[in-house]
Structure 1
């Protein structure tokens, strides 16, 4: 379920950090809190005992492009306890919430600004949308690339390399644990995974691939569109 970040209790944040620190090396509570405080909303996955088993943080903000307004959903950390990887409830709740945001101001384009440390996150783009960037089977349009560059530079400054589309930090902002960083041979053979590894070869040291997707009914695949457009 989506909630405003400011409404999270200390107990809930403690549980979220426990999930985060189990998935990432270099975990530091002060940096986690700082990042969380920058976000506006969280999507929470709970089990039948109401215990948090996953979460996705996001920041909704306004921007401009070519002198026209746009809205941006910047995705932060998305963590699911491995025991609940089979559940798609977090993803479903995320796309429903994005649809609610789009309905608030349908005349203003809504973009999903995503940075990917791993292929699992990157593959959500194809699961949700017809068109997104970057992708292996289509070149990124120049105007879309310029918008990506603008958003990434505004948020990350010199950590963003426009030539590669990758964020690299002098001090890692969170590396996947060795277990989660491993990619099976079967997954490596998937075209989207192979492309992700080509674009972000140093993902295991914390590099992140910058991605962008317009969230609109016409750009979403049928299942995602049904959730996005649901009342």
Structure 2
């Protein structure tokens, strides 16, 4: 199997995307989702930034993620949440730490802009492979099979989920599917995922409706220790030759 070319990461304001760019985004999206284009574009145009992952040298769009930043105070703690959605990546480019590089860039920006605030990363995962991004990269994350979510974090996730998802929020960490967008069977497949992995088993138990489009809400504390753990895991993967996402 040929090694794919290296890819670059660029984070841009949504307002900078032109008509050609939206066509590219739709072509990539339609590889992973059965979706209404109007719905997808309306949702993406409401966020602040897009991370665009492009293969070199042809600059083909091979991955992306939508990025929002929410500021709120909960139980007296001033908190900034980096929320990502619509994250897709061509499977050939797994192992290049592309999504991890997006996370590190946004985390650094958040630390510079909000040094005194509590910092979190949040997203909802519609597949076991997406959920595995957490244990393979971050020392601390929620929810997980081996450690209960702490009290403040559990209450915050419930409150933030209610605010973020409205009527789609189920109250148990599950975000109910919407008819305008769902993963294609090929994107949701468990091919290459070890079913006996306890993290995979936990995801499948917590989110039995994932194949129909339900997602599991997840959160990561962006502490210095946790970010250092991410860096260590990225370095270890690079030293192994990028064999694992």
1:66 maps to what in 2? Answer: 75
1:122 maps to what in 2? Answer: 131
2:226 maps to what in 1? Answer: 219
User: 2 CA distance for matches of 1:154 and 1:78?
Assistant: 21
Equivalent residues of 2:174, 2:217 under 8 A apart: yes
Equivalent residues of 1:12, 1:52 under 8 A apart: no
Deviation at 1:122, TM superposition (A): 1.2
User: 2 CA distance for matches of 1:121 and 1:5?
Assistant: 24
Q: Secondary structure at the match of 2:149?
A: coil
User: 2 CA distance for matches of 1:225 and 1:77?
Assistant: 26
Q: Does 1:195 align with 2:198?
A: no
2:14 maps to what in 1? Answer: 5
Equivalent residues of 2:138, 2:227 under 8 A apart: yes
Deviations 1:120-164 (A, max 9, x none): 2212222332221100010111211100000000111232122x3
Equivalent residues of 1:43, 1:94 under 8 A apart: no
User: 1 CA distance for matches of 2:228 and 2:201?
Assistant: 22
TM-score (norm 1): 0.89
User: 2 CA distance for matches of 1:199 and 1:10?
Assistant: 39
1:172 maps to what in 2? Answer: 179
Deviation at 1:68, TM superposition (A): 2.9
1:45-64 to structure 2, matched below 5 A, reads: 45-48=53-56, 49-64=58-73
User: 2 CA distance for matches of 1:47 and 1:71?
Assistant: 31
- Per the alignment, do residues 101 and 188 of structure 1 end up closer, same or farther by CA in structure 2, a change over 3 Å counting? same
Deviation at 1:89, TM superposition (A): 2.2
- Per the alignment, do residues 185 and 58 of structure 1 end up closer, same or farther by CA in structure 2, a change over 3 Å counting? closer
- Per the alignment, do residues 45 and 188 of structure 1 end up closer, same or farther by CA in structure 2, a change over 3 Å counting? same
Unaligned segments of structure 1, at least 5 residues: none
- Per the alignment, do residues 101 and 155 of structure 1 end up closer, same or farther by CA in structure 2, a change over 3 Å counting? same
1:152-163 to structure 2, matched below 5 A, reads: 152-162=161-171
1:34-53 to structure 2, matched below 5 A, reads: 34-48=42-56, 49-53=58-62
- Per the alignment, do residues 123 and 186 of structure 1 end up closer, same or farther by CA in structure 2, a change over 3 Å counting? closer
Equivalent residues of 2:138, 2:230 under 8 A apart: no
- Per the alignment, do residues 225 and 8 of structure 1 end up closer, same or farther by CA in structure 2, a change over 3 Å counting? farther
TM-score (norm 2): 0.84
